[in-house]
Chains A and B, each alone.
Chain A
């Protein structure tokens, strides 16, 4: 396996005009209030998305038909400064309990009513063919198809 082919983590940040505790509360307990419906992963249209507010809590979405689609779980719960989530949505766009990628979100107080929210999605190498080579196993791998399909749908929506 060629080390240079390991993808760097995705890092995104945004500074919001709200205090640290509020930013944490909206991001986690209020997850379903802001998560874009277009970012649904389940087969049914998104009704709500939930981060259960505790270590070991579930991270999932509920569809309009009542179905639930697991995304992962809460690995670390440190209000108001940090939450660490396991993202276990594989390449086939399905929940895979053996897939391990992490989404870490840090809430850094800038002023009394301004917070920088830093998101890092890491261990992306576990998604793909390189992980197969590294682990010599194929069982937990899907492929690129789901993401590309989903990407295609997003692109189409953007164009239309």
Chain B
């Protein structure tokens, strides 16, 4: 499942937002949401497969973090964002200079 599709579910998005805020265990996430722990685990599984979060064992439980690979994707997004913005800039400045 793509990252976008993985976040399309509102509960899964809420799970992701909690993990993005700070690293948390399944139990901690469950306490913050009106869903069962097994539902949270299912959502985390999907988020992990979409490379949005990753888990690290701590004692008997896993702690979930935002996957740093997400930074790479965010960077790619900004790269596109600025690329298209500069194209618009180029059109505008060249038109203004031609019409001077």
B70 pairs with A144, CB closer than 8 A: yes
Task: Report if A141 contacts B (CB, 8 A).
Answer: yes
Residues of chain A contacted by B75 (CB below 8 angstroms): 7-8, 10, 124
B66 pairs with A128, CB closer than 8 A: yes
Residues of chain A contacted by B17 (CB below 8 angstroms): 143, 145
Q: Determine the main DSSP class of B at the interface with A.
A: helix
Alpha-carbon distance between A13 and B83 when the two chains are bound, in angstroms? 8
Residues 41 to 95 of chain B near chain A (Cβ within 8 Å): 52, 65-66, 68, 70-75, 77-79, 81-94
Give the distance to chain B from A143, nearest Cβ to Cβ, in Å.
3
B91 is contacted by which of A27, A34, A91, A130 (Cβ under 8 Å)? Answer: A34
Task: Report if B1 contacts A (CB, 8 A).
Answer: no
Interface residues on A, range: 35 or more
B71 pairs with A125, CB closer than 8 A: yes
What sequence of 0s and 1s flags, for each residue 126-148 of chain A, a beta carbon within 8 Å of any chain B beta carbon?
Answer: 01111010000010011111011
Task: Report if A30 contacts B (CB, 8 A).
Answer: yes
B85 pairs with A124, CB closer than 8 A: no
Give the distance to chain A from B25, nearest Cβ to Cβ, in Å.
16
Alpha-carbon distance between A21 and B41 when the two chains are bound, in angstroms? 57
B22 nearest CB neighbor, chain A only: A138
A142 pairs with B20, CB closer than 8 A: yes
Q: Contact residues of B with A, CB < 8 Å?
A: 3-4, 7, 13, 16-17, 20-22, 52, 65-66, 68, 70-75, 77-79, 81-94, 96-98
A–B complex contacts, Cβ < 8 Å, 27 sampled: A2-B68, A10-B82, A16-B94, A17-B94, A18-B93, A22-B96, A23-B93, A26-B96, A30-B96, A33-B92, A33-B96, A39-B81, A91-B20, A91-B74, A113-B97, A124-B78, A128-B70, A129-B66, A129-B68, A129-B71, A141-B20, A145-B7, A145-B20, A147-B77, A148-B3, A151-B4, A152-B7
